[in-house]
Amino acid sequence: MTRVEILTAATTPDVWDVLVIGGGASGLGTAVEAATRGYSTLLLEAHDYAKGTSSRSTKLVHGGVRYLAQGNVSLVREALHERGLLKKNAPHLVRDLGFVIAAYKWWAAPFYGIGLKVYDLLAGKLNLKPSRYVTRGQALERTPTLRTQDLKGGILYFDGQFDDARLAVTLLRTLENFGGVAVNHAPVVGLIKEGKKVVGARFRDDETGAEHAVRAKVVVNATGVFVDDVRRMDDPAAKPMLSPSQGVHVVVDRAFLPGDSAVMVPRTDDGRVLFAVPWHDHVVIGTTDTPVPSVSAEPRALDEEIEFILRTAAQYLEPAPTRADVRSVYAGLRPLVKAAEGTDTKAISRDHVIRISDGGLITLTGGKWTTYRRMGEDTVNRAAALAGLPARLSVTEGLALHGATTAALPDHWKVYGTDAEWVQALPGADTLLHPELPYTEAEVRWAAQAEQARTVEDVLSRRLRALLLNARASAEAAPRVAAILAEELGQGAAWQAGQVQAYRELAAGYQLPPDGVTGPQERSAQNV
């Protein structure tokens, strides 16, 4: 559908069954859950699908080894179950990945080996592959750049890997397949209330400035780190739910981890785990856990976070990446629910939380991508009961997501699943956008025609992953992307110029400046 058709579809019904605010993992999961049960469903997203935290993960579908160490067995069991379901339901987006825990002390391999056997057992019949001890030679065969000095061997275990933003787009397409409607670049500017009861929302079309009102039997606030902003629209006196925490990743060339496995550091200097993960022919290294006082749509990495990641990587990789090797650096904010005063954010549970206000606003927050489906199921159960919707069973446990296929597609095209042949049939399928990026002109056209991409950022950051793979190269590709988008969307030269300028300013924040000083953190909570 065109933008006009989408807006018309969003504003035509007198009352929706379910209105979801927020187009990240939790919002999309909730919307798909509602639509697949046959409830009329509308989703509103302020920026773009997975614009925030949901496109800035470590790219893992996992149970959470660290949560097991904290004793949160129920969360790990649930996440491992959902990991198995997601691999079945989206085989074009999820793959098995081996992780090596290198042992440099005699006790390390048996110590971590026992814990990972428990991890295997908790996964049950949905386990990917059993963990096992590997010798020094086997560890180096899988991860040739591991530091060799004092290396005794290690443990190999398996988790899942995925492309987070592409899963978001896949859920968008699945929602549409089941009759749901989603609108991006449509920030909610207020809630509609009858007495104290929340009965809808007002949103602004950011492309025209026009405001629209939509009504619903139940409203779900799934805006991630911005849930408190929406809660205050319902109750200005609402106390904050969140203790947001920032996680940073750096992306370097594949040469720094050329084997077929990832590396997991089970305990860093600050008590976290750190991953070095091969992803789209690059390597993602992270993450950090830094409490932040406020939230932003574009958080920025602190210089000390970058130095911590590179310093820790240097303890395990040789040669180790330096600042000069970083192709991109990105930061995401975790919507952690407030704990007791003084609690370290590393110790706060990553489980999801559902709260219902006196006005009937349902707020879903916390959780992680791996459990997005369960979060949606739990939320719709509560929403249906609250709104008096007909009781219907969930079908998402066995629901193949849009494009699902087990066909052996080339790596670059695999994320499109069954849509790949349609993308490849468009003009420019053999024309690269940039010699240092794998993406083609046809993919830009597809993003505009089929995936609701409206800006250069939408394309280069989330429909394609160029911003995260190589921020500089993506900025150089921006003019061509703008030209193709302008053609697809009916825009002119002034729009193109504005898009290129805006994108290049954005991409500059993902590159490390030569002086080694990152810019000041942007910390304004504006749109939800």
Region 356-368: mean pLDDT is 96
Region 16-44: mean pLDDT is 98
Q: Find out whether 86 and 160 touch, Cβ atoms under 8 Å.
A: yes
What's residue 514's pLDDT? 64
Q: Which of 66-70, 83-87, 364-368 has the lowest mean pLDDT?
A: 66-70
Please, what are the domains in the chain?
Answer: 3-53+165-240+347-398 (3.50.50.60), 89-160+243-342 (3.30.9.10), 411-508 (1.10.8)
Please determine, for residue 75, whether its predicted confidence score (pLDDT) is greater than 50.
Answer: yes
Please determine, for residue 362, whether its predicted confidence score (pLDDT) is greater than 50.
Answer: yes
What's residue 350's pLDDT? 58
What's residue 71's pLDDT? 78
Residue pLDDT, tens place only, 113-132: 999 999 999 999 999 999 99
What's residue 72's pLDDT? 81
316 vs 102, 144, 275, CA distance in Å? 8, 11, 11
What's residue 283's pLDDT? 98
In the chain, the percentage of residues whose pLDDT exceeds 90 is 88
What's residue 410's pLDDT? 86
Q: Are strands 197-204 and 188-194 parallel, antiparallel or unpaired?
A: antiparallel
Average predicted confidence (pLDDT) for the chain:
93
What's residue 74's pLDDT? 87
Q: Which of 28-37, 175-184, 510-519 has the lowest mean pLDDT?
A: 510-519
Residue pLDDT, tens place only, 427-456: 999 999 999 999 999 999 999 999 999 999
What's residue 107's pLDDT? 94
- pTM for the structure as a whole: 0.95
What's residue 343's pLDDT? 40
What's residue 513's pLDDT? 79
Band of pLDDT at residue 65, cut at 50, 70 and 90: confident
353 vs 11, 115, 364, 430, CA distance in Å? 30, 27, 6, 46
Region 255-283: mean pLDDT is 93
What's residue 348's pLDDT? 44
DSSP 208-274: T--EEEEEEEEEEE--GGGHHHHHHHH-TTPPP-B--EEEEEEEEEGGGS-SSEEEEES--TTS--E
Please determine, for residue 518, whether its predicted confidence score (pLDDT) is greater than 50.
Answer: no
Q: Which of 125-134, 325-334, 340-349 has the lowest mean pLDDT?
A: 340-349
CA 59 to chain CA mean position, Å = 8
Which tokens is 239 given? 């106390």
Q: Find out whether 522 and 300 touch, Cβ atoms under 8 Å.
A: yes
Exposed/middle/buried for residue 327 (C-beta within 10 Å: 0-12, 13-18, 19+): buried
What's residue 515's pLDDT? 53
Residue 412 has phi, psi (to 5 degrees) of -65, -35
Region 267-278: mean pLDDT is 89
Q: Which residue from 200, 180, 157, 145 is spatially nearest to 41, judged by alpha carbons?
A: 180
Question: CA 50 to CA 509: how far, in whole Å?
Answer: 18
Q: Which of 44-53, 57-66, 487-496 has the lowest mean pLDDT?
A: 57-66
**Residue that is written with structure tokens 């296929």 in the block:** 405
Please determine, for residue 528, whether its predicted confidence score (pLDDT) is greater than 70.
Answer: no
Please determine, for residue 347, whether its predicted confidence score (pLDDT) is greater than 90.
Answer: no
Residue pLDDT, tens place only, 448-507: 999 999 999 999 999 999 999 999 999 999 999 999 999 999 999 999 999 999 999 999
Considering only residues 493 and 527, tell me which one the structure prediction assigns the higher pLDDT: 493
Region 329-354: mean pLDDT is 71
What's residue 339's pLDDT? 63
Query: Across-strand partners of 276?
Result: 263, 285
Task: Work out the number of other CB atoms within 10 angstroms of the CB of residue 434.
Answer: 19
Region 169-191: mean pLDDT is 98
